[in-house]
Amino acid sequence: MSTPHTTLPFEELAEAIKGRRSDYGHISGLQLDRFAPSEAWSSLPYRPVFVGDTETGVLHGGVVTAMLDESCGMAVQLALDGTRAIATLDLRIDYQKPATPGLDIKAHSICYRTTRSIAFVRATAYQESEDEPVATATACFMIGANRTNMLADRRMDARSIPTLEAPEDPDGPFARSPFARALGIRVNDDGTLTMPFSPQIIGNPILPAIHGGMTGAFLETTAIIGVARELGAAAPPKPIGLTVNYLRSGRALDTFANVSIVKQGRRIVAFEARAWQDDADKPIATAFGHFMLRQTPGSDEE
């Protein structure tokens, strides 16, 4: 059990956030570039392992989701005193346009209100200008989520940080998705997907617990694979928006997920995905969202 900690002065709080973030945050290379009370400006360097489709070079949507989740968390921490743990309750991502291959991603997050138990955040992910967003997000965080305090209880040893690598698998379902391969995601015979636990996906290393952004990325991947398979689509659908509800802490266990189509139109599909660990009746997270179907050649749809 952690002992009580004194309130950190703001400059010390910001420095603690820079150096003691989630394990995945360190592995991904996410940086806190600028800060103010309740506001965080961060950046994520472009890396080939983040790509979701090698034919286009576009980043995997889960990379943006994970970045926005962590960036929102930093804004919440900058609105507090550094003594309380936080956890994501829900996160909504709206994808505005694909990220330009080869360019870094930036984010500006604002914690615009806190209550005794809840923090409310909004964020924008962009590349060259915040006025031209790649994605926008809104989120709610629980304050005092557990008795750990990453800002005071740990210091990351750079020598212990694992690397994020995508093993080659030219015949697998993720041959064109380095990020999915880096997470070790695999498709099971019953149509479910598995994301094996690994040090790369840890959020809170004290518990330890899976990074909420990694759970969101897994649910999005599950939805893309499942919807494309169900509809017999030749190309993966394009994400429009995704809302993730976090129901339980993702423990140091393998995680499983499935997806169902809620409604199908000519161009838009609504879906719901669920992720669980040792009990399918006790999901750790659910996601609801919409995809746009890619039109086939000769279609009269615009």
Cα end-to-end span (Å), the chain? 58
- Residue 160 confidence (pLDDT) above 70: no
Q: How confident is the model at residue 151 (pLDDT cuts 50, 70, 90)?
A: confident
pLDDT exceeds 80 at position 297:
no
Total domain count, the chain: 1
219, 257 contact by CB (below 8 A): yes
Q: What pLDDT score was predicted for residue 22?
A: 85
| CA atoms in the 13 A half-sphere facing the CB of 29 | 14
Does the residue 301 lie in any domain?
Answer: no
Phi, psi angles (nearest 5°) of residue 173: -70, -15
Kindly state whether residue 191 falls inside one of the protein's structural domains.
Answer: yes
3 lies in a domain?
Answer: no
**What pLDDT, on the 0 to 100 scale, is given for residue 9?**
87
Q: Is residue 53 part of a domain?
A: yes
The answer to whether residue 2 sits within a structural domain is no
Flag whether pLDDT at 149 surpasses 70.
yes
DSSP string, 4-51: P-PPPPHHHHHHHHHHS--HHHHHHT-EEEEEETTEEEEEE---GGGE
Residue 121: both structure tokens together:
């955040």
Confidence of residue 6 (pLDDT cuts 50, 70, 90): low
In a domain, 136, yes or no: yes
Residue 257 contacts residue 275 (beta carbons within 8 Å)? yes
Which domain does 126 fall in, by range?
10-151+161-292
Instruction: Kindly report the average pLDDT of the chain as a whole number.
Output: 90
Report d(CA 22, CA 180) in Å as an integer.
20
Band of pLDDT at residue 302, cut at 50, 70 and 90: very low
CATH label of the domain that carries residue 211: 2.40.160.210
Listed residue (30, 166, 132, 138) closest to 76, CA to CA: 138
Q: Residue 296 has what pLDDT?
A: 56
For the record, the structure tokens of 221 come out as 């991947």
Domain-embedded: residue 49: yes
Query: pTM of the predicted model, to two decimals?
Result: 0.91
- For the cut 50, the answer to whether the pLDDT of residue 301 exceeds it is no
Which pLDDT belongs to residue 163? 83
| pLDDT tens digit sequence for 251-292 | 999 999 999 999 999 999 999 999 999 999 999 999 999 999
Query: Within a domain: residue 63?
Result: yes
